[in-house]
Amino acid sequence: MLSFALTIAFTLVGAAFALSFLRLLKGPDATDRILALDTLYINAIALLVLLGIHLASPLYFEAALLIALMGFVGTVALAKFLLRGDIIE
Amino acid sequence: MSIVTETILSLLVLAGAVFTFIGSLGLYRLRDFYTRLHGPTKATTLGVGCLLVASSIFFSVTGEGLSLHEILVSLFLFITAPVSAHLLAKAALHRELPSLAAMHNNDRETKSEHSA
């Protein structure tokens, strides 16, 4: 039962990836693209967690944690650049 | 793994995946930036939270002892999602992106002027 649920979950998260990527391509403004990137990295965390359950391996959490940290820093830097025209003042 | 644990795990995994999908669907379908901001910041965060709880239960049951790495990731996500959403909304207001709510209110005002 769990493997069946995991198959459906992989499909849904993959579709979520595709929709976020389409928004990243479409825009129309820079803020939309930053938001799409933010969603893409959260989707990547979801996919890594699912992969960890599927392979019954706890190795993937470090990767998920790193993506969470770096993605947040990236989003804040890009938003700050749009807001002030500079990242570190 | 007992049948009860497996059922709970399957439900959590399915709920998490559905919420993640709904968040990205909202990001793709909604019509202005301010409404689009809702999907990823709320639905997707809840979805990933569900998946992390499922993963925590799975490794606590199969591995030795309680598995608490996932709490770290979910705590971090739950703290940072509102912060990045706030910064993005501020950036959008700074760039003066058009909002559908403002257009709707303008429509209503012009209509009431016509009727008056």
Instruction: State how far the Cα of A10 lies from the Cα of A32, in Å rounded to an integer.
Output: 25
pLDDT band at B11 (very low <50, low <70, confident <90, very high): very high
For chain A, the domains span: 2-84
Residue of A38, A46, A58 lying closest to B59 (CB–CB): A58
pLDDT band at B19 (very low <50, low <70, confident <90, very high): very high
| Contact yes or no for B24/A17 (Cβ under 8 A) | yes
Residue A16 three-state SS: helix
Give the pLDDT mean for A10-31: 91
The reported pTM is 0.86
The percent of residues in chain A predicted with pLDDT above 90, rounded, is 55
Instruction: State how far the Cα of B80 lies from the Cα of A72, in Å rounded to an integer.
Output: 7
Give the pLDDT mean for B17-42: 90
Rg (CA), chain B: 21
Which of B 28-47 lie inside 8 A of A, CB atoms? 28, 33, 36-37, 39-40, 44-45, 47
Give the pLDDT mean for A75-86: 87
CATH code assigned to A2-84: 1.10.287
Q: Categorise residue B96: left if φ over 0, alpha if ψ from -120 to 50, beta otherwise.
A: left
Give residue A87's Cα distance to chain centre: 22
- CATH number at B82 reads 1.10.287
Say whether the ipTM exceeds 0.85: yes
Instruction: State how far the Cα of A21 lies from the Cα of A2, in Å rounded to an integer.
Output: 28
Tell me the average pLDDT of chain B.
85
pLDDT at A8 over 60: yes
pLDDT at B116 over 80: no
The total number of structural domains that make up chain B: 1
Say which DSSP state A28 is in: S
Give the pLDDT mean for B79-108: 83
Place of tokens 């799409």: A36
Those residues whose C-beta lies under 8 Å from the C-beta of residue B1, and which sit 6 or more positions away, are A2, B61, B62
Tell whether B75 lies on the interface with A, counting CB pairs under 8 A: no
In order of A2, A3, A17, B73, the CA distances from A53 in angstroms are 10, 9, 19, 15
Instruction: State how far the Cα of B11 lies from the Cα of B55, in Å rounded to an integer.
Output: 12
What is the domain range of residue B41? Answer: 3-115
Q: What pLDDT shows up at residue B109? A: 64
Give chain A positions within 8 Å (CB) of B77: 42, 45, 68
Those residues whose C-beta lies under 8 Å from the C-beta of residue B35, and which sit 6 or more positions away, are B26, B100
| Contact yes or no for B24/B39 (Cβ under 8 A) | yes
